[in-house]
Structure 1
Amino acid sequence: MSREQRGLWLGVVGVAIFALTLPMTRVAVGTPEAPLMSGLFVALGRAVLAAVLSIVFLLATRAPWPKRADWPALSLTAGGVVFGFPLLTSVAMRHVEAVHASVIVGVLPLATAMAGAVLHRQRPAPRFWLCAGLGSVLVVAFALLNSGQGGLRLHPADLLLLAAMACAAVGYAYGARLSQHMRAEHVICWALVASLPVTLPLAWLTWPAQALPATAWGAFAYVSVGSMWLGFFAWYRGLALGGTVRVSQVQLLQPFLTMLFAVPLLGERLDALTLAFGAAVVVTVFLGKRAPIDTRTPSTPTLSPRSPA
């Protein structure tokens, strides 16, 4: 396999793990009528459990300390995928179904590609940006039609999900950048360990006071070990090998995998409107990803010496 092909297949593995995140989060937090874990505990607690696993892994692999120049990028990675995305989605998933949220996730491939293009100074063709805008409009239109507010107003949970997509895109882009010279596994591990002074005390304060069913704890274990840890092993390595802009295309699979998982796990149903909007978002992302990308770094033009008269 070529380097790009290996990156794409690793990206598929990561996306398959991530696709269960929203349904499992829904199982853990419950519904407004039957609440279980708080969204804060799910987000922070899963980061603590993954950080403990990360410490063991870093010691076992004798990982070197990150260089001083890497800490700003690690901080942005942690801000996006350790704090931003988990916190926002965990709070939102108590109020919306996983099938509904999966359509909002449909904008993530374009958001990731846009963040990667800016960070790596790549220049996609105008068609890419046109498709990016169209995909975003479709996602917002779907959220408006399903808001249940009796008017053209977004549900607060939809706003949280859209903000979560932005956080994830930034975290993915900076994590992929670090994976160019660090082991991909070490990137997420150091981001989790660096966040531990904040996540540990907050997780302790938000620990559930009531007894919870085993299904809630099982879902919490999945988002801790799978979504917050192992999924990033494959995902960051795939982005590093195949390029952030290209490999983010495999996230096209995530909304549909999430829908398929949500039906048997949560008893949710798929309607024609959801499927139609999900397919439309995928088409816009597919067209945008096929647009040519200029990977050359812009350079300052030099003046040639004037020829003698």
Structure 2
Amino acid sequence: MRRPSPVELMLLTVITLWSLNLTVTRYILTHGFQPLAYATVRYGLAAAVFVVVVLVAERTLAIQRSDLWLVLAAVLTLWLNQLGFVYALKTTSASVVALILGATPIFAALIGLVTRTELLTSRFWLGATISFVGVGLVALGSGGEIRGGLGGVLLGVLTAATWAAYSTCVAPLMRRYSPYRISAVVLSAAWVLIALSGSGQTRSQDWSLDAEVWALLVFAALGPLVLTNVLWFRSLDRIGAARATLAANLQPFVAALFAVVLLSERLVALELAGGVAIAIGILLARRRRPPAAVD
């Protein structure tokens, strides 16, 4: 049995932190933080970290004029992604949001086909289908119904679709800039939009929150946002958006494991079967894509 490759280890770290972030964010939003006030503080902290790192290491935040349209697209999709993310977790459970995010690879593949940035084989589609069936099994095992109403479900779908679009936008930028510079520029610009959108909630926010909530917010900024952004961008550069986002199908199962450990929830046989199917699908689809035809 071969050892996991560096990119597989990076993706495993990303998925683990993202899965834990769903539980952490849900906890924060149900213990005093308003959704957009939370997003404003979290993204402000993460953007500040990236800006300082880039100015010290690279001494510039410059982006070529020809790349500004990609940066703008990344900023807009990330802004929409965060609106969907915080409100989805405010209106429905973390496990439901995780299940819906399993559809992210489908959106990434469709975007890749439209933009002609991905060459997807039948092996990929087979793997994606099997892993998506696994997501369905996890959903059945978690209770057989989607809780939180249609609004929460639609917000989860928005989160999945915009994350796929965001990943597609930043992948070409990785060929010309470091992940730190991309993160500093995109996160800072997205923070401006988030801050403007959430100015009302930020002004009315009660800041006298428990120390535990603040500690979790710092973790949510530095771990699932700062560290994962760097690892995610590197993964996109090496294997493309569709294959990288396929690993997001692990999130429902990993999130269920966190629920068992942290929330004392019960993991049933269907959820275990779903996790196995998700893993099989990813193994099938991780085969290297064929080289593009030379014109």
Aligned to 1:192: 187
Which amino acid is the alignment partner of residue 7 of structure 2? G
Identify if the C-alpha distance between structure 1 residues 68 and 24 changes in structure 2 by more than 3 Å, giving closer, same or farther: same
Give the distance between the partners of 1:40 and 1:14, measured in 2 at CA.
Answer: 23
Asked if the contact 2:32–2:206 (Cα under 8 Å) also holds between the matched residues in 1, the reply is: no
Which amino acid is the alignment partner of residue 145 of structure 2? N
Equivalent residue runs for 1:9-28 within 5 Å? 9-28=9-28
Aligned to 2:100: 104
Give the distance between the partners of 2:219 and 2:26, measured in 1 at CA.
Answer: 12
Equivalent residue runs for 1:203-218 within 5 Å? 203-207=198-202, 208-209=205-206, 211-218=208-215
TM-superposed CA distance for 1:184, in Å, is 1.3
Give the distance between the partners of 1:115 and 1:24, measured in 2 at CA.
Answer: 30
Give the distance between the partners of 2:171 and 2:145, measured in 1 at CA.
Answer: 34
Equivalent residue runs for 1:143-182 within 5 Å? 145-147=144-146, 155-182=150-177
Aligned to 1:302: none
Compute the TM-score of the two structures, normalised by the length of structure 2.
0.81
Deviates more, 1:8-17 or 1:19-28: 8-17
The alignment status of 1:44 with 2:37, answered yes or no, reads no
Give the distance between the partners of 2:119 and 2:238, measured in 1 at CA.
Answer: 19
Aligned to 2:219: 222
Identify if the C-alpha distance between structure 1 residues 195 and 92 changes in structure 2 by more than 3 Å, giving closer, same or farther: closer
SS in structure 2 of the partner of residue 182 of structure 1: coil
Identity %: 24
Which amino acid is the alignment partner of residue 7 of structure 1? V
Give the distance between the partners of 1:242 and 1:129, measured in 2 at CA.
Answer: 16
Give the distance between the partners of 1:176 and 1:107, measured in 2 at CA.
Answer: 19
Give the distance between the partners of 1:209 and 1:185, measured in 2 at CA.
Answer: 33
Q: Specify the structure having the higher radius of gyration (Cα).
A: 1
Deviates more, 1:99-108 or 1:201-210: 201-210
Aligned to 2:88: 92
Identify if the C-alpha distance between structure 1 residues 121 and 267 changes in structure 2 by more than 3 Å, giving closer, same or farther: same
Give the distance between the partners of 2:208 and 2:34, measured in 1 at CA.
Answer: 13
Give the distance between the partners of 2:197 and 2:266, measured in 1 at CA.
Answer: 35
Equivalent residue runs for 1:113-152 within 5 Å? 113-126=109-122, 128-129=124-125, 132=128, 142=139, 145-147=144-146
TM-superposed CA distance for 1:67, in Å, is 0.7
Aligned residues: 286
Give the distance between the partners of 1:102 and 1:270, measured in 2 at CA.
Answer: 15
TM-superposed CA distance for 1:224, in Å, is 1.8
Give a deviation string over 1:22-44, Cα, whole Å, max 9, x none: 111111101xxxx5212222223
TM-superposed CA distance for 1:233, in Å, is 0.8
SS in structure 1 of the partner of residue 60 of structure 2: coil
- For structure 1, the residue ranges without an aligned partner over 5 or more in a row are 300-309
Give a deviation string over 1:258-291, Cα, whole Å, max 9, x none: 222233333443334444445445544544555x
Aligned to 1:7: 7
The alignment status of 1:255 with 2:252, answered yes or no, reads yes
